[in-house]
Structure 1
Amino acid sequence: MTSNTQVRPRPAARRNEAARFRLSPVAAAIAAVSVLASGAVHAQEKSSAELQSEITRLKQALEKAQQELQKKEGGSAPAASAPVAAEPAAAPLREEPVALDSVVIRSRNRIERLQDVPLSVAVVTGRELDRTGADDIKAITQRLGNISWNQGNQRTSSLSIRGIGKQGQTEAQDPSVGVIVDGVNYAYNALTSSFTYHDIEAVEVTRGPQGTLLGKNTSLGVVNITTRKPSFTPSADYSITLGQNDRVTGKFAGGGPIVDDLLAWRGSFVVDKGEGDIRNLDNKDITYQNIDRVSGRVQFLLTPTQDFNARLAVELQPRAGETTNGRTINTPTPTLYSNGAVNALGTDASTRLARSWFKQQNTYNYANDYLYGGGHRAVNNDTVRPLVTGSHGASLELNWNVGNHTLTSITAYKDYHFNAVNDDGTPFDIYRNAGGFWNDYKQRTQELRISSKTGGLVDYQAGLYYINVSNSSEYQREWGNDAGAWFASTAQYNRLNTSAAGQLLMQNSLDRVVMAYNSPTGLQNIKNTSSAVFAQANWHLSEPLTLTTGLRLTREDRSNTGSSFIRDYGNGAELNPVAVNGVQLGGFSSNSTGVLAAANSAAQLALADKVANKYFGVAVNPNSPGSAYNSLTAEQKRQVADAKAIRATQVGVLFNQTQAESYRDTQPAFVVSPSYKVNPNLTTYFSWQYGEKAGISQLTNGVSNLVKAEKTNSFELGLKSTLLDKTLIFNTALYLMNIRDYQQSVRVLDQYTTNLNNDGTNYYTSATGNVPKVQAKGIEVDGVYAGIRNVTLRFSGAYNDARYKDFTNAALPNEENYPGAPAYKDLSGQTLPGASKWNFNIGADYRRPVFGDKEFHASFNTVYYSRANSDNSLSSYSWISDYSITDLAIGIGRADKAYDVSLLVKNAFGDSTPLASTWNSFTPAVPRWVGLMFTGKL
């Protein structure tokens, strides 16, 4: 896509003086013809001859403008990242048909024809996104090929390309699929999740390792989002959407000159509010998948000379809450394991909710309320809170034309806040926070880039890149006064529930305990720094043959300091252990039946006496420490031991501040890609792309567990064609991706537990680690057809086979975790989680003049995915059947866009396939939604 930056007409007296403010003459032509394939439309009824005449005229205008530009700048084409200005052309009454072979993209930092780029690229325009109300990352990816959005909460969601990328999220881990917004890399998955994308020019997905052109290296691909830039031509556009679930969305985008021909601005603002589709019966004002977003972006463009421009962008999304965690419908836990062994359900909700402690609330029971959402789209959670997120950002982009080169500098800052307070799935006071991250993430980036002119034997780009990341991350857990009765084993519960003293011990065992909990580490301070040098060159060996080569070297320096500790001992501090893993907790020592150990100090014996007095009313003799406690009956001592054991078990692993082993390495990336233009309408190419994702500095149960770098070799054999008198673009690629040391959750040796037990047995736990070999292979297709009058069709699809080639230490799924089961299993040869064999999307846009100056339009987009497993352990209960989602938009408005009204329908056919499933729960699909969208110009 091209920039839509424009300049206003100048008074004749100033025209020569201000000539230096005029940028490339190609911009005006590009503005007319640079509609990406997915957004091209036939907006007027004309004969075939007239349409062909228009296509020829626009193509000739583009070629002429390109020639003028080359004469003026010595053959140099503007860098795609550089904001450009152009003389405005009179706006046509309706969108004109375009020549599809003129579609341009920015994936390589230049404005290039899509058909000339030897990469597998999928594109969608902002205009198409606007028409169907697609303004979040999930909706955007549903309009692109062989890419998918893995639904989680705002922090854990992720992107996959070619079926790869659905790995467990850790705070110190880079995303496999990079996201770039206006030249700024987002090095954290959460930065893409909770934002409304508005005022978008285009979205491009480049598949395969990237890094020899711009930004941060990525191992699977890049999503490149370009927003609309400031213009010297005043404009103001708005939209208001009203829909089901009290949804109200207001959007505004506009701007213009501040100082004619020198300083322009553009602002984009969104207010988006609405309820979710599942209600919380405990607090009916909390709904799941609600929307609560306010955001704004303001840009300023400075053009003091023809050869220099600067763009400053500032964006803000104030903190607000959206409830995503807990959107879970419970189902009965199977009573048999996969080997036929009986599942005793000792820790299952069905067993715990049957205890008298929880049956006192006679309006609530397991069968009618806990299971299946109580028979309707509702849950009953007492302490769930919306997940609070917010973000700030700023970037400064400078562009200089120096001789035959363009110099670009991008300086940027981005932060992100996340805070989750989660519930246990019941209306009881078990957890006041069932585990939720509190994150403050900050990144600072600097990129310097030089781009040569195009034409001649070689054109090239080179640059330096730096990113500094800091992330303060705490996993929080807090227990309530029902927690002891919930987490007690059946034997412990039966002993404690026999007396008032035992019940108070059971309650105080966990009540109000607050922790920075070890999952995977309580409090982490993560510091990641990357510095890189990169270069890429296009060698034009002959008229039809071009060889693209690129190289990148990245220096990674990553560190992580962590600790897990108790913030508040709650109402039963006297029940603490003496120490856990060297962390002193101030308790007294006793055995499993409650008998005092001989090694207790006088202070510890006094604490034991306090327990005897507090819970059993025994008088304390200060002159005889321990005598009060020793006077308890064996049954009473056993109750104390049970309460202490409940606390110790739930507290888990503690450790003092520990420095994980740092990850430091210099990582290469490269590309080699020859392309051959068979004729003006057919180009073939081969590419070999190699990239690495940095290793991870982390702690597992307080012990350093360094994760190796992920290394990807990607091979493509592609064809790009323009057919049927340039009404059909058809691009296809065969690909093979081999990944070594793929980063995801694996079973690793639990050094902490092995050392603690010291019984000659090795113990294992799940943590982020490396899968030795993963492979994805298949074929993908992208295309657009504009040969039907008034209609444009966009399509993409893929057959994808993504498998573990070597993975012998996978975690066991729940159904295989029976007593005596092995510590891990072999998943070699199995399909990766989230990897559908088949996926495609198809979109259509129909536009027809009616009633004189009015225009009727209708659009749809359908995305299809074949069955895939939603669980990293590939549970047999986690298969999601094939499904499709269709979004529709039908409307009418003025052809000059002065006003328009559209009916929007999302998930029009009500597909109810769950988003995820486990052996005793599922995440339901988001149901059909209907709204009205009003748009116009001010």
Structure 2
Amino acid sequence: MTQHIHAAYRPALPFRLSPIAATLAGIALLASAPLHAADPTVSELQAEIARLKQIIAAQNPASAAPAAPPAAPAPASASAAEPAQEESQTLGEVTVRSRNRLERLQDVPLSVSVVTGKELDRLQATDIKSLTQRAANVSWNQGNQRTASLSIRGVGKQGQTEAQDPSVGLIVDGVNYAYNALSSSYDFTDVDAVEVTRGPQGTLLGKNTSVGVVNVTTRRPAFTPDASYSLTIGQQDTVLGRFAAGGPIVDGLLAYRASLSVSKGEGDIKNAYNKDITYTNKDRVSGRLQFLLTPDPSFSARIALDAQPRGGETYNGRTINTPTPAKYANGTDTNLSTDVSTRLARRWFTQQSGYSYQDDFLYGGGRNVVNNDNQRPLVTGSNGASAELNWYLGTHNITSITAYKDYHFNATNDEGTPFDVHRNAGGFWNDYRQVSQELRLSSAPGGFVDYQTGIFLMKVDNQADYRREWGNDAGAWYANRDQYNRLDANAAGRYLLQNSLDRLQMSFNSPAGVQDIRNKSAAIFAQANWHLSEPLTLTTGIRATHENRKNKGHSLVNNYGNAAELNPVSVNGVQFGGFSSDSLGQLRAGNSAAQLGVADAAANKYFGAPAGAVPGSAYAGLTDAQKRQVADAKAIRLSQVGVVFNDTEAAPFKDTLPAFVLSPSYKFSKDLTGYASWQYGEKAGISQLTNGVSNLVRKEKTNAFETGLKSALFERQLLINANLFLMNIKDYQQAVRVLDVYTTGLNNDGQNYFTTATGNVPKVQAKGLEVDGAYNGIKNVTLRFAGAYTDAKYKEFKNSAQPVENGFTGAAPYRDVSGEQLPGASKVTLNLGADYRVPVWGNKEFHASFNTAYNSRYNSDNTLSSYGWIGASSITDLAIGLGTRSQSFDVSLLVKNAFGNDAPLTRTWNTYTPAVPRWLGVVVSGKL
């Protein structure tokens, strides 16, 4: 992605390192690199260290007060007295690791944004959403830890099935995370840098991605001892603790780095049913331990272990309800037969005088609360291990990264009331595991051509179970009007109403109750930089990835609850053990003696009918009204059971996916580079079941074109990078409207039925302008800015699901949204950050920082509902503090959402997710 600094621009080395010193210096530089595991040659490390030292010496006389630019990290061997020097490098010297080499950001022939760990630390930006608020044209799409997602250039919000690859890849310390949920549940602490690369990736390393990559690099082990801490006390009983330490175990041979992060705190919305549950609380503990082994100058090994014990955070249910609109989009009256207002008006629920639709369900009860009896925090946890081995062979380097990562997710949700409608309104239970192996060979830079090539292997196993359980109020909730009136008429009917669903448990079809997902990926890749002349370089790359993806699933009842006698005989060939009767409750011909025995048991249980000598006689003795009540209870149960099917293997996806890059760049001067690029990538298709029927999703294909300039002006005080981009995506993977083969075949009435499932949109396009820059020409001030104009739309999409407001009678099963803006895509995004630092009182330093992220309006609803629009808004975080210039001690006041942005995070036609309000805290930090 980036380009190595041409030899003509490298300063001559004023000294020569011994082999051992070079190795140690190389390891130190590895520890400071903003991106992937390093694999530079010893000579490259020598040159880079020498260059950085020359810059520091030139820019920072001992008597000068250091400014605070935002960028390049210092060598890890810097002493504790050097942090101010670390930040004094000129903007044009920012280095990145996008192509596994230390390279100037200004030499990178692609759209890349870099955010340093220091910038994140100043404003306690530790979650993935905070990270993305500091880079251009990257957004975080609201959801829970499993469903939230990253977007780049407006693309990536749609689509989240367990078997689907994320559109935007995430790499942490050289390890690819192939599951979207792995980005959501962590505090990224002790971070060295975050780098965002836009466009298809894969010809250099790791797993291929179709839209872009977010790379997170943590601080690496080094042989210089250091330790740092941070303690934050804030509103909502918040306590955030961070600690990191590292140094030599055996000097020159073995070093370590350890970090620990603890985040505890309440959310801003309370659950009135259980006030100890708040939305969205913090409950995260994570630790990372790394060892660095350097037995000789030609080899290094880094072993890393990480763990996040399971903790619970309540993301789902942070929802404020509003009245359902009275009219559909065509002006006809809304069908309120299943609306909450209708259900809560039933006698069954009005008996509880302390809760009502108007006073409690709507608008958070006027108290910004929710009332959920069975809501539970979402439980997540993860463990990981990796071994990174580097061999430095003079003219070539070899890097091996072997990694394991797992993830657990467990959701127990509520329907949104204090009634026992659901013990679990639906929630995934996931156990995810991935194993990967990467092996890369890199040539030394310089000469006519330098190149990298390698292989990447990954195996994924994901066991998913979407669970649902009903409670004793569920029958009264889900019965239609006539069913409810007949059953609520007497004690026997109310007993049937209660038992119709009470304690029924299922692996529920959403999209399949249980999924056994098995993915294997194997790739070979190569990329070369052809130095055609001193200023002109042509980058070429190619990749071939073979994907083998399988998925087996079923949807079945796991527990019949309190009323197995109300089961149907069978559904879709799955036996339920009930008896056969018509809609009026009359026994059908053909019931076996055992089935008639079940009917008699029902008659005895609910109406006290004594069993007779002839099977079925007790049930036959019921009145027609009583039989109709039994039929109503059975119908309620059958309607909620929905789609069931035995173990079914979906059609596998097997294919070889190509990718390539072609990118010429021309260095007009040391501080001005122009480039163009053509990137092509593919994302694997999806092996899946839709209502028990195989529904194979085609692979997604992305062509990305880009041209840009990278400049450092006014003696490198102003850095501006700008590019124009165009991305054309074919067969974009997201939710679409498809033929429901299951229901069409089950009803067999000559009509076609449709459902919403993950599928392919024929054509999507994103185009626009991106600008990224920084300025440090004002004394003691550093400014960073980024912005983008993006036009992301459906070029062709004729089978989108209808939004809720189109639910009127006679509406088509789908609609054409060709030409419409993608959901979650703002046309304008801006980011502005500033850091002010000035020496006071001798060795003290006063500092103030802020970061503002702005986005224009976007539609938060995947069906592009007219009710889903979120207006333009901005959010600002700021900090002000005083500390020692050596950073041994600092105290700061931190304010999140300082100006109280109250734009909802999501909105539908009768709900919204409110903004996270202003939060204040005090941060004490330092180095030991």
**What band does the TM-score fall into relative to the shorter chain?**
over 0.9
Shift of 1:472: 0.3
Q: Is the 8 A contact 2:262 2:284 kept in 1?
A: yes
Cα distance change on mapping 1:174 and 1:144 into 2, 3 Å: same
Is residue 282 of structure 2 the alignment partner of residue 276 of structure 1?
Answer: no
Aligned with 1:520 (options 505, 511, 516): 511
Cα deviation code 1:129-165 (max 9, x no counterpart): 0001000000010011100000100000000000000
Q: Aligned with 2:338: secondary structure?
A: coil
**Corresponding residue for 1:862?**
852
Q: Which runs of 4+ in 1 moved over 4 A?
A: 16-19, 24-32, 54-57, 59-62, 83-90
Does the 8 Å contact 1:212/1:671 carry over to 2? yes
2:749 to 749, 753, 759: 759
C-alpha spacing 1:29/1:599, structure 2 compared with 1 (3 Å): closer
One-letter amino acid of the structure 2 residue matched with residue 685 of structure 1 = Y
Counterparts of 1:688-837 in structure 2, within 5 Å, are: 688-837=678-827
Q: 3-state SS of the aligned residue for 1:613?
A: helix
The alpha carbon displacement at 1:354 in A equals: 0.3
Distance 1:161 1:35, change over 3 A: closer
Helix, strand or coil: the match of 1:898? Answer: coil
Q: Which runs of 5+ in 1 are unaligned?
A: 3-15, 37-53, 63-82
Q: What SS does the corresponding residue of 1:570 show, helix, strand or coil? A: coil
Map of 2:927 onto structure 1: 937
The one-letter amino acid of 1:755's match is: G
Q: 1 CA distance for matches of 2:873 and 2:483?
A: 46
Which of 55, 62, 78 is 1:58 aligned to? 55
Alignment map for 1:497-646 (pairs within 5 Å): 497-621=488-612, 623-646=613-636
Q: C-alpha distance in 1, partners of 2:492/2:80?
A: 85
Q: Find the aligned partners of 1:395 and 1:563 in 2 and give their Cα distance.
A: 34
Q: CA deviation at 1:20?
A: 2.5
Partner residue, 1:203: 194
CA shift for structure 1 position 403 = 3.0
Matches within 5 A, 1:350-365: 350-365=341-356
Is residue 147 from structure 1 mapped to residue 144 from structure 2 by the alignment? no
Match in the other structure for 1:69: none
The one-letter code of the counterpart of 2:526 is: A
Taking the TM superposition and a 5 Å limit, the aligned residue runs for 1:124-273 are 124-273=115-264
Name the aligned partner's letter for residue 620 of structure 1: A
Equivalent position of 2:92 in the other structure: 101
2:907 corresponds to 1:897: no
Change (3 A) 1:497 1:219: same
Note closer, same or farther for the CA distance 1:93–1:21 as it changes in structure 2 (3 Å cut): closer
CA distance in 2, matches of 1:273, 1:290: 8
Given that 1:27 and 1:84 are in contact with CA atoms closer than 8 Å, whether structure 2 keeps it comes out as: no
Q: Which residue of 2 aligns with 1:39?
A: none
Q: What is the rounded CA distance, in whole Å, between the counterparts of 1:579 and 1:684 in structure 2?
A: 68
Q: State the 1:97 CA deviation.
A: 2.1
Query: Which residue in the other structure is 1:452 paired with?
Result: 443
**1:682 corresponding residue in structure 2:** 672
Q: Provide, for residues 267-316 of structure 1, a one-character-per-residue CA deviation record: whole Å limited to 9, x for no partner.
A: 01011100000000000000011000111000000000011000000000
- Does the aligned pair in 1 maintain the 2:31–2:220 contact within 8 Å? no
Q: Is the 8 A contact 1:22 1:87 kept in 2?
A: no
Q: Percent identity?
A: 67
The alignment partner of 2:23 has SS state of: coil
Q: CA contact under 8 A between 1:404 and 1:453: conserved in structure 2?
A: yes
Change (3 A) 1:630 1:838: same
Cα deviation per residue 1:652-684 (whole Å; 9 max; x = unaligned)? Answer: 000000000000000000000000111111110
1:650 is aligned with what amino acid?
Q
- CA drift of 1:22 comes to 3.4
- How many pairs does the alignment contain? 886
Conserved? CA contact 2:443–2:450, under 8 Å = yes
SS at 1:210 equivalent: coil
User: How many Å apart are 1:35 and its aligned residue?
Assistant: 9.5
Distance apart, 1:200 and its partner CA? 0.3
Question: C-alpha distance in 2, partners of 1:467/1:712?
Answer: 22
> What is the rounded CA distance, in whole Å, between the counterparts of 1:187 and 1:35 in structure 2?
21
User: Could you tell me how far 1:18 is from its partner in structure 2?
Assistant: 8.5
Maintained 8 Å contact 1:591/1:641: yes
- Cross-structure match for 2:8: none
What are the residue-to-residue correspondences of 1:456-495 with 2, within 5 Å? 456-495=447-486
CA distance in 2, matches of 1:911, 1:690: 39
State the distance in 1 between where 2:53 and 2:569 align: 84
Offset at residue 376 of structure 1 (A): 1.8
Name the CA distance, whole Å, in 1 between partners of 2:157 and 2:800: 15
Q: Is the Cα contact below 8 Å between 1:23 and 1:84 reproduced in 2? A: no
Distance in 1 between residues matched to 2:159 and 2:914, nearest whole Å: 21
1:77 is matched with which residue? none
Q: Offset of 1:400 from its aligned partner?
A: 0.2
Q: What amino acid is aligned across from residue 676 of structure 1 in structure 2? A: Y
CA 28–273 in structure 1, closer or farther in 2 if over 3 Å, else same: closer
| Matching of residues 18-33 of structure 1 within 5 Å | 19-20=19-20, 22-23=22-23
AA of the residue aligned to 2:624: A
Q: Which runs of 5+ in 2 are unaligned?
A: 3-15, 36-50, 60-72
Q: Displacement, 1:56? A: 11
Deviation at 1:99, TM superposition (A): 1.5
- Which digits, 9 at most, give the CA deviation of each residue in 1:889-924, with x for residues without a partner? 100001001100010000000000000000000000
- Cα distance in 1, alignment partners of residues 95 and 681 from structure 2: 26
**Is the Cα–Cα contact under 8 Å of residues 537 and 665 in structure 2 kept in the other structure?**
yes
Which whole-Å CA distance do the structure 2 matches of 1:823 and 1:479 have between them? 29
Paired residues of 2:374 and 2:414 also in contact (CA < 8 A): yes
Provide the C-alpha distance between the structure 1 equivalents of 2:306 and 2:617, rounded to a whole number of angstroms.
Answer: 67
What's the CA shift for 1:858?
A: 0.4
The separation in 2 between residues aligned to 1:620 and 1:746, in whole angstroms, is 53
Letter in 2 for 1:693: K
Deviations 1:198-228 (A, max 9, x none): 0000000000000000100000000010100
Contact 1:22–1:85 (Cα < 8 Å) also in 2: no
Quick one: which amino acid aligns to residue 748 of structure 2? N
Q: TM-score, normalised by structure 1?
A: 0.93
Per-residue deviation at 1:168? 2.6
Name the amino acid aligned to 1:367. Answer: Q
Distance 1:767 1:268, change over 3 A: same
Deviations 1:539-591 (A, max 9, x none): 00001100000000000000000000000000010000100100000000000
2:318 corresponds, among 314, 327, 350, to 327
Query: In structure 2, what is the equivalent of residue 418 of structure 1?
Result: 409
The change in CA–CA distance for 1:592 and 1:481 in structure 2 (over 3 A counts) is same
Give the conservation status (yes or no) of the 8 Å contact 2:31–2:222. no
Q: Which amino acid aligns with 1:368?
A: D
Q: Is the 8 A contact 1:142 1:863 kept in 2?
A: yes
CA–CA distance in 2 between the matches of 1:389 and 1:553? 34
Relative distance call for 1:84 and 1:895 in structure 2 (3 A) is closer
Say if 1:35 and 1:98, in contact at 8 Å, map to a contact too.
no
Confirm whether residue 366 of structure 1 aligns to residue 357 of structure 2: yes
CA distance in 2, matches of 1:543, 1:312: 39
Give the superposition deviation at 1:24: 7.2
- SS of the residue corresponding to residue 23 of structure 1 reads helix
Counterpart-to-counterpart distance in 1, 2:273 and 2:290: 44
2:65 alignment counterpart: none
